Copies of this chain bind each other. A is one copy, B any other.
Amino acid sequence: MSEQGGFEHFVADVRARIEAWLALWLDARVTEARARGADVGAVADSIRQLVLRGGKRMRAVLLAAVYEGCGGAGGLDEIAPAGAALELLQAYLLAHDDWMDGDELRRGGPSVPAMMRARFGHFGQRGGPPPTDCHELLFGAPGQERADAATILAGDLAGAWAVRAMLELSIAPSRVVLAMRELGRVEEDVVQGQVLDVCESAGNRHDVEVVYALKTASYTVRGPIVIGARLAGASDDEVAALSAFAEPLGVAFQLRDDVLGTFGDARDTGKPSGSDLRKGKRTALVVDAMRDPRSEPILGRVLGRPHASDEDMAEAMNALERSGARARVEERIASLVARSLRELDRVRLSVGGRSLLSQAVVALTARDR
């Protein structure tokens, strides 16, 4: 089997085991929730649907590759609960993020806020007149508020489940405690990165890569890698070396996402071309291009305008090329990947683990979807 065939086989194997673990485990959770009430079941099921609807499970792949590379025993089955915990943590973050960003679609289906509105939203409208009936006051908030609450609670529930899944590991408790510490640190980083992204005022903006390191790289790359290492019993020095490998890789991953979200082919990405522009996302591409005063009015015609014309979109994408923004982001990706690979050379790993990780670097940063 070729080396690349080995990586693809590894990815498929991890994915299949994580899917199977999650499907079984989430069914049990939804059954428990339904026993508490129909709407509790519906809230729980929104998380089950979101989690099972997909994602590439690359976090679990990274975790498993590092676990093997650091000599962890027992193979993939041993660490499936940790891989699943990362998926649940992501579901928690996506539920809250999609609510904050008003995103209706996620992974080719309705987002958690959209699912919750479909269930609860018909009871009334936010901002409408207050209900005058005593029973309505006692027995229910207006529908949109109820849907908002259900969305936040769905995310909170997924967060509790991430902890619960993690604690089903049958690895030595001293290692589980260290892995849990990283899971908590990831959550803290993502939440603070989200504050930087959503709440900080214009005059107070941070470098986009600082936000990416906290908001994406932490849970997509560093967390999985550190948790895999901790569960394998790696030393603090080994974990530090792996973190130095993980951090530039995580930022490069998000920069590739920016490029794909703007220039990607809809057939590959599943999102219409230019969708990040229409959503008004403050991507690295946009931040770079806005430094050029000639690009600003052109981008202004499409940013955050879902119904921007095709001509305006084409011109905006042209401006991102012409200003050099796209080329600079590509250069930055290449430089981060090179740094990441240099750091990988310094990490003590099994031959198989090193090979898996160097191929994971390519899969994360040279992908087309």
Q: Let me know if A204 is at the binding interface, CB within 8 A.
A: yes
Neighbouring B residues of A126 by C-beta, 8 Å: 127
- The reply to whether B43 and A195 contact each other, CB–CB distance below 8 Å, is yes
* Copies of this chain, tallied across the complex: 2
Contact status of A157 and B199, CB under 8 A, knowing A173-B176, A181-B164: no
Contact of A280 among B137, B181, B200 (CB under 8 A): B137
- The reply to whether B37 and A137 contact each other, CB–CB distance below 8 Å, is no
Contact of A195 among B153, B210, B286, B296 (CB under 8 A): B153
- The reply to whether A286 and B181 contact each other, CB–CB distance below 8 Å, is no
Q: List 11 A-B contacts (CB under 8 A).
A: A36-B192, A37-B204, A96-B153, A100-B141, A100-B148, A134-B303, A140-B202, A141-B198, A153-B195, A173-B177, A176-B177
- The reply to whether A157 and B100 contact each other, CB–CB distance below 8 Å, is no
CB-based nearest B residue for A123: B201
- The reply to whether A163 and B192 contact each other, CB–CB distance below 8 Å, is no
- The reply to whether A163 and B191 contact each other, CB–CB distance below 8 Å, is no
CB-based nearest B residue for A280: B137
- The reply to whether A201 and B153 contact each other, CB–CB distance below 8 Å, is no
Neighbouring B residues of A194 by C-beta, 8 Å: 149, 153
Q: Which of A1-9, A16-24, A182-190, A327-335 contacts B (4 or more CB under 8 A)?
A: A182-190
- The reply to whether A202 and B159 contact each other, CB–CB distance below 8 Å, is no
A126-166 contacts to B, CB under 8 A, are 126-127, 134-141, 145-146, 148-150, 152-153, 155-157, 159-161, 163-164
Contact status of A137 and B303, CB under 8 A, knowing A43-B199, A199-B43, A199-B150: yes
Q: In the complex the two chains form, what is the Cα distance from A185 to B157 in whole Å?
A: 10
Contact status of A199 and B139, CB under 8 A, knowing A37-B204, A40-B192, A157-B192: no
- The reply to whether B159 and A187 contact each other, CB–CB distance below 8 Å, is yes
- Please encode chain A, from 206 to 250, with 1 for each CB lying within 8 Å of some chain B CB and 0 for all others: 100010001000000000000000000000000000000000000
Q: Let me know if A167 is at the binding interface, CB within 8 A.
A: yes
Q: Let me know if A33 is at the binding interface, CB within 8 A.
A: yes
- The reply to whether B280 and A157 contact each other, CB–CB distance below 8 Å, is no
- The reply to whether B120 and A199 contact each other, CB–CB distance below 8 Å, is yes
Contact of A196 among B37, B159, B176, B303 (CB under 8 A): B37
Neighbouring B residues of A346 by C-beta, 8 Å: none
| 9 A-B pairs with least C-beta separation | A134-B300, A139-B202, A137-B304, A163-B184, A173-B173, A160-B187, A160-B188, A173-B174, A100-B149
How many residues does chain A have at the interface if contact means C-beta atoms less than 8 Å apart? Answer: 75
Q: Let me know if A38 is at the binding interface, CB within 8 A.
A: yes
**A residues apposed to B, CB below 8 Å:** 33, 36-40, 43-44, 96, 99-100, 120, 123, 126-127, 134-141, 145-146, 148-150, 152-153, 155-157, 159-161, 163-164, 167, 172-174, 176-177, 180-181, 183-185, 187-188, 191-192, 194-196, 198-202, 204-206, 210, 214, 280, 282, 286, 290, 296, 299-300, 303-304
CB distance from A77 to the nearest CB of B (A): 19
Q: In the complex the two chains form, what is the Cα distance from A155 to B201 in whole Å?
A: 20
Neighbouring B residues of A196 by C-beta, 8 Å: 36-37, 39-40
CB distance from A214 to the nearest CB of B (A): 7
Neighbouring B residues of A180 by C-beta, 8 Å: 163, 167, 180
